[in-house]
Amino acid sequence: NNGEVEQIRGLGLVAEVFKENKLQGLSGNIACGHVLYETTNNVHIENVQPFVNRSKLGTIAVSHNGSLVNYEQIKEFLEETGSTFVSTSDSEVIIKLI
């Protein structure tokens, strides 16, 4: 949408989060989505994907399903070099590495 990433994120069932009126308001022609049945107690809106990162090079959205084995070490390194994080998800580390 003119180079901007629009985002709808929420907790709950897909039909509850993506109501028709919200979908009608979107104007882009590409989508990045993620559905997860959370098996831990880490259910917070900050951890809902996709993650969006804006930089001087542009905007990117990333969804990931899996585990980064050494994500704590990578996150610590990135924080030491100036990156900030809003979630506790290992997936946010991926977008910072890009």
pLDDT in tens, 15-68: 888 888 888 888 888 888 888 777 777 678 888 888 888 888 888 888 888 788
Residue located via tokens 């809003």:
86
Cut 0.85: pTM above it: no
Q: Report how far residue 63's alpha carbon sits from residue 90's, in angstroms, rounded to the nearest whole number.
A: 11
Instruction: For 4-23, give the secondary structure using H, E and C.
Output: CCCCCCCCCCHHHHCCHHHH
In 3D, which of 41, 38, 88 has the Cα closest to residue 68? 88
Q: Is there a contact between 52 and 1 (Cβ–Cβ < 8 Å)?
A: no
